[in-house]
Amino acid sequence: MQILECIDRVGQKYGYDTELMNALKRCIPVMIEGKTEEDINLLMDTLERVQIYTFDDQPEQEEIDAIIRRKINGRNNHVKTIECDKGEYGKKVSPGSYISEPIFDDDMNIIDRVGFIYVTNLYSSSETSKFYGTKINLSHLIHELGHAWGAQKGEFQQEESGDYTMTIGTSKFHNRVDRNGKIAEETGIEGLYMEEALNSIEEENALYRLFEINDFRSIPGYVQSNYQGTMTEMMRYFVQKFGEETLGKIRIQKDRSKIEKLQEIFDETNFMKGMDGIDYYSEKEKKLNSAQDTSMSDSAKKRIKDFFEKYRSLYLMPHKKQDFLGHLDKVMEQLFNFTSIKYSYDIANEDIKQSYYQTLSSILAEGYAPINQAVAIMKEHKKQEIPQVTLCGLARQALEDKIRIGEVTVLPEEKRISDREEKTIDESSI
């Protein structure tokens, strides 16, 4: 099998140990199941390009930085990089990640890239390690390979000005370049949370095929990420309604044609139109602040109040101005950030529980409502596309059939069935 030969080749290239090699030979085949030949080739290219590092203990940032410096090998010494604030995302060093850096020449043109993956091993005595049959954290390995795969095609796109975009799956990291000052500054990110949700779904599906299970929670000791749950459920619902190819093609092939056709549909939904109304965000704000009227402790109330004030622009500013994927990504960012504060709600207490559900449902509605309304609009459009069956049409078709087989000659114009006599009939009566 070509993919296994590729794994052997990169294993020798990077000096992977037997345990990592075996893990790759188990994970890669289930990751590519159902994928196109072009997608599979991109994954093989990814394996060739991206070295994988494993750590027995979760690495410190200094250890990750050391790998970056070694990979870049002094080629960016003339460049100053500035990252933008990612909020709750990335506040701590992750136990696994795909990391990529552009390489600049003296004129700040991107001439190369370096990328690598690192994952933290499981403790050999852990339940998860025993279930996996290896200390390699297979779920993290699959997840980070998924990001790297999504970055293989068109990862760095640079404009004449020097500004560039780094694309990993559905996520785009926008960067402004000062050629004279040798500065690359990250100015904005879009699609990040959708990428994490979609990649988590791919991770789960690969684990299901690998272990012949249907729920990741059945894996002993499995630690659920902040992406799994409300984020992945919403993303899975979107995929279920509009098809895997709609976003799958964006992630791997950078093909946006299918989602662009859907954009006009989403613009038609009452929910997206209603977000422009003056009352929408004032009503939502009441729900977000509902905890202040409960029996919650003063310290918990303050944490929640401070949280929504800090992220006011995320939760209480119009997202209608973006395309629908941009809007959906903001909904998922709200869900992701909310996980950092949700345990302030003591849902064993009834009035606090009601506040929690009011808050959560106000966020969920921004994703599910337009999806459901878009589906309804598409069904209505499909109905309207069904050609009307008419008496005149049936008669004309019958006549044309007879002419074709030579049973009758063409009638004079005045003796044909007049369009004015046409009567629409119900399709069920035919």
pLDDT tens for each residue of 228-278: 999 999 999 999 999 888 888 889 999 888 888 888 899 889 998 888 777
Task: For residues 64-74, give the mean pLDDT.
Answer: 97
Length of the chain: 430
How confident is the prediction for the chain on average, in pLDDT? 89
Say which DSSP state 9 is in.
H
Q: What percent of the chain has pLDDT over 90?
A: 74
The more confidently predicted of residues 246 and 377 is: 377
- Confidence label for 1 from pLDDT (cuts 50, 70 and 90): low
Could you tell me the pTM of the whole model?
A: 0.86
Q: Rg (Cα) of the chain, in Å, rounded? A: 28
Q: Are 411 and 377 in contact (CB under 8 A)?
A: no
Residues forming beta bridges with residue 185, ordered by sequence position:
82, 176
- Residue 178's pLDDT is 98
What pLDDT is recorded for position 138?
98
Q: What are the structure tokens assigned to 386, written together?
A: 């069904």
pLDDT at position 146 is: 98
Contact 7, 43 (CB under 8 A): no
- Please give the helix or strand (H or E) that residue 112 lies within, else none: strand 110-120
**174-199 mean pLDDT:** 96
pLDDT band at 385 (very low <50, low <70, confident <90, very high): confident
| Count of CB atoms situated within 10 Å of the CB of 259 | 18
| H helix intervals, 58-137 | 61-72, 127-132
Q: Please, what is the Cα angle at 25 between 22 and 30, to 5 degrees?
A: 135
List, in order, residues 6 or more apart from 11 with CB less than 8 Å away. Answer: 20, 21, 24
Coil, strand or helix: which one is 189? Answer: strand
pLDDT at 46 over 70: yes
- Is residue 389's pLDDT more than 80? no
Q: What is the pLDDT of residue 312?
A: 94
Average pLDDT of the segment spanning 355-369 = 96
pLDDT (0 to 100) of residue 392? 59
Q: Are 341 and 226 in contact (CB under 8 A)?
A: no
Per the DSSP assignment, residues forming a β-bridge with 118 are: 53, 97
From the list 30, 405, 333, the residue with the least C-alpha distance to 188 is: 333
Q: Is the pLDDT of residue 411 over 50?
A: no
Amino acid at site 52 = I
Tell me the two tokens of residue 32: 């590519």
